[in-house]
Amino acid sequence: MNKLYAIIPIILAAGIGIGYGIFVTTDSTNAAQETPVVTLAIQPTAQASDIESQANEAEQYLEQKTGYDIQIYVPTSYAGVVEALRFGKADMAFMSAWPSYLAVQKAGATLEAAEVREVVIGDTLTAETYYYSYWVVPKDSPYNTLEDLRGKRAAFPNPLSTSGYVTPMKTLVETGLITVEEGKEVDPKSYFSDVVFAGGYGQSWEALRNGRVDVSIIAGDVSEKLYREVREGTKSVHEQGPIPSHGVVFSKEMDPEAKARVKAALLEMGHDDSTKQIMRKLVSAIFVGFEETTADEHLGNLKSALEMTGLKYTEKV
């Protein structure tokens, strides 16, 4: 049976680490059935035409591990997922760092697992639940520090990107280069003469390489090819992090037994190549596995960045 529903694209964080979300909700109307129904909603990175077979693989794995009837569909937005968690319509969610933080803050959800991703830290390819991002300028640039870049032109991948915008903005505030007015969001135009949101890390690199801007950002969770290409063609003037990977959050109302079963099944994913490939095709091309954690541990740096910058999550659909 095809259990895949409507798909609505969403503009989220850029690069290969583009944001996505999963939430699971138990259908109370099926309580009398022998097999409980669990609905799994996914915002995928794949094209719509590729989703059916990929979704079937994930369904089959989770059904085998949990004993539930898993049904997959695509939600319209992260805001909808957060509200579903808040009002008890969803049991769990798998989403990028910033929406995970919102789920914890606004819905009382608990973050209990983080995605281990294949990332590059410095020059080393590794697998971690965190990574770093870097302010970069052309190799022949006369600028060597962030202080040198006042009044220059800057490109960022996306205003919703934790690594490409939120954390770099924290750096500017933390170093005293930008002052944030109380009750307002940080304004990069108060420091740079021109600010471009290029739409992705690749586009930001193009803008820098073509001389349209003087500085840009690259992060360790993009494809290794793009990361090394950018690092080889630039010099870094500042590093920031650690930056949290995607997280798995659970509703405060979720049935403890259901939570334990699904969480255990997710924590096993990535232990073999077949389950790793399921997730790589479905949600993240650099997925390695999941690791238990807490919101305080995993999202602490993001929390301080949002508090320092005053940035608000404004979702576009």
| 173, HSE (Cβ side, Cα atoms, 13 Å) | 22
- Interatomic CA distance for residues 109 and 18, integer angstroms: 22
CB 246 within 8 A of CB 144: no
Q: Which residue has the higher pLDDT, 228 or 94?
A: 228
Question: Which residues contact residue 94 at a Cβ distance below 8 angstroms, ignoring those fewer than 6 apart?
Answer: 20, 21, 22, 23, 42, 115, 246, 247, 248, 249, 266, 283
| 221, HSE (Cβ side, Cα atoms, 13 Å) | 34
Q: 26 and 112: one domain? A: yes
Q: Output the pLDDT for position 261.
A: 92
Indicate whether 123 belongs to any domain. Answer: no
Count the neighbouring beta carbons within 10 Å of the beta carbon of residue 101. 25
- Interatomic CA distance for residues 31 and 206, integer angstroms: 54
Please state the domain count of the chain. 2
- Interatomic CA distance for residues 273 and 289, integer angstroms: 10
Q: Which domain holds residue 79?
A: 21-118+245-299
Q: 236 and 135: one domain? A: yes
Indicate whether 311 belongs to any domain. Answer: no
CB 155 within 8 A of CB 234: no
- Residue 21, pLDDT > 80, answer no
Please state the length of the chain. Answer: 317
Q: 238 and 134: one domain? A: yes
Q: Output the pLDDT for position 105.
A: 95
Distances (CA, A) of 219 to 13, 98, 167: 12, 16, 11
The mean pLDDT of 170-195, rounded to a whole number, is 96
Structure tokens at 120: 């590059």
- Residue 31, pLDDT > 70, answer no
Indicate whether 312 belongs to any domain. Answer: no
Q: 150 and 180: one domain? A: yes
The domain that holds 151 is classified in CATH as 3.40.190.10
Q: Output the pLDDT for position 18.
A: 40
Q: 237 and 254: one domain? A: no
The pLDDT tens digits for 208-263 are 999 999 999 999 999 999 999 999 999 999 999 999 999 998 888 888 888 889 89
Q: Output the pLDDT for position 202.
A: 97
Percent of the chain clearing pLDDT 70 (strictly above): 83
The pLDDT tens digits for 120-155 are 999 999 999 999 999 999 999 999 999 999 999 999
Provide the 3-class DSSP secondary structure of residue 153. Answer: strand
- Interatomic CA distance for residues 167 and 129, integer angstroms: 16
Q: Is 149 exposed, middle or buried (0-12, 13-18, 19+ CB in 10 A)?
A: buried
Q: Output the pLDDT for position 70.
A: 76
Q: 199 and 251: one domain? A: no
The DSSP element (H or E) to which 149 belongs, if any, is none
Q: 157 and 184: one domain? A: yes
Q: Any idea which residue has 């800057």 for tokens?
A: 154
Q: Any idea which residue has 């999550």 for tokens?
A: 313
Q: Output the pLDDT for position 244.
A: 98
Indicate whether 178 belongs to any domain. Answer: yes
The pLDDT tens digits for 34-85 are 787 777 666 544 454 566 667 788 888 988 999 988 777 666 777 877 887 8
Q: Which residue has the higher pLDDT, 24 or 39?
A: 39
